[in-house]
Structure formats: structure tokens, C-alpha cells
Amino acid sequence: MRKDLASDSSVKEVKLPREYIKLSPRSSTIIPHRTGDGHLTKIGYVKLSAFSQTAAADMKNALHEMERLNVRAYILDLRNNPGGLLKAGLDIAQIWLDGDETLVNTIVRDGNTSPINMVNGHAITHDPLVVLVNEGSASASEILAGALRNNGRAILVGHKTFGKGKIQSVTELHDGSALFVTVTRYLSPALHDIDQVGITPDVQCTTEMLNSPKDSFLRDKSSVVTLEADSCIMVAEHELDIQQFKGTAS
């Protein structure tokens, strides 16, 4: 507000341009991590809050940048991600997988099941991966998590997912109401039902925020501070250590 408005009764019109604000459903950072044998390494952390049209491209850009920075393991956080575009979820699965793996199965009312497979997939990275899920992970989040877990690409850490895996047709009625008819359900690549069942993670974790950091050198950025106080992140780091040890031993 202008300071002279109190003494000047005239009103000045100002034209303000209207612009679109683009919000990315993806955020990412690098977590410094000290392994069990004392080595300092980097973990790429990617948080996906929804499956938008740009989600797959955003994920590719994040992974290419992290690979350039010598990240050695990844955490994909799908907690409280309610879903969005199914195609975006399937496209993101193909970023992590090779070959012609089954991403999800559909089952129609007559009981016939049809797989949706990749076509000549090429993963950007084969580094160890942990996917975080919880009761707020639904729909495309569950399909992506199931695809990565059932194809042996990731360990799931967290809490049982919401359980939304159906396709519905919508018919608008004359009185303004609508009729929803379920025409297809989604099954995981291992043919496990998702709808009203959810996905139980491989490893549980608490939702508590820890009071004390495990390493003082991780305190330099506020985003890293929050992540390192997250007990599920710490469980994920432990699982990544196990995966990396297995890879080294083999």
C-alpha cells in the first residue's frame, strides 16, 4: 500500500498480469550416508506427490542428474501420494526396469486377466532402490510400488497402502446424480488384488520423528535435517546397506 493513500483520496489503477504457476509433483535431494564399513556415500531421495503428465519426465531428469553426481542408491518416497494418471505411473516404472516385464494386470467382470507389459525397457540405473509407502499411497502409487517390488527391483518400506485398484465408468443421470460401475480391477504383476486390500510392505517402520541426528555432518540443509529425523528414511538406508552388501558379495 502506498504511504500517501491516507492523504490522497484518488485511486490509482494498476494492471497486474495473470500468469500460470507451475507446481512440480516431484522434489529431490541427495542424502549423505555413512555405510556400515565407514565409507561416505550418496543416496538419491525423490519424493513424488502425484502422477501428473510431467511426472515421468521430471523423474528422468532427477535420475540423470543424480547419476551424474555419483549417487549409489535411491529412495523413492510415495507416501501420501493419492495417485493420478495411470500412464505416468507405468512410465515411471519403466524408468527403473529392463526388458518386457509385466507392470500390472487388469481383470474384467468375466474374470479374464490381461497383463500390461513393458516393451524393450531400459532402466536408467540399476543401483539399489527402496520405495516408501503408507496408508496414503493409493491407486497409481500402489501400481508402481507393486510393479517395482514384484519384479525384484525394490524393497518396500513403510505401512500398508490404501487399497484403490479399480477402473469405473461414470454415467450421468437426469437428476444430476451419477452412476459409477466398476468395469476393471488392477492386480499386481504377482496377481495380488490391490483394491480394498492394499500392499503390505516388506519392512515396517514407525511414523515418529527422531530427536537426535545419527551424524552431525548431515545437518547442513534443512531438507536433509527433516529427512534424517524420519525413522522410515533410516530404515530405508539400512535396507540399502544390505542390498549394496549383497551386490558386493556376489
How much of the chain, in percent, has pLDDT values that exceed 90? 58
Task: Give the Cα separation of 44 and 227 in Å (integer).
Answer: 12
Q: Helix %, strand %, coil % for the chain, to 5?
A: 25, 30, 45
Cell matching residue 98: 529392463
Closest-CA residue to 186 (of 148, 119, 133, 140): 140
Measured CA distances, 60 to 19, 26, 57, 229 (Å): 27, 11, 5, 27
Contacts of 19 (CB under 8 A, 6+ apart): none
Topology of the domain covering 25-102+119-163+196-249: 2-enoyl-CoA Hydratase; Chain A, domain 1 (3.90.226)
Is residue 224 very low, low, confident or very high in pLDDT (cuts 50, 70, 90)? low
Which position has the higher pLDDT, 63 or 243? 63
**pTM of the entire predicted model:** 0.80
Report whether 120 contacts 88 (CB < 8 A): no
Residue 106 has pLDDT above 90, yes or no: yes
Point out the least confidently predicted range of 99-108, 160-169, 233-242: 160-169
Which position has the higher pLDDT, 104 or 166? 104
- Residue numbers annotated as active site: 139, 164
Closest-CA residue to 189 (of 230, 142, 226): 142
Task: Give the Cα separation of 176 and 53 in Å (integer).
Answer: 30
Going from N- to C-terminal start, the domains of the chain cover 25-102+119-163+196-249
Specify the length of the chain in residues: 250
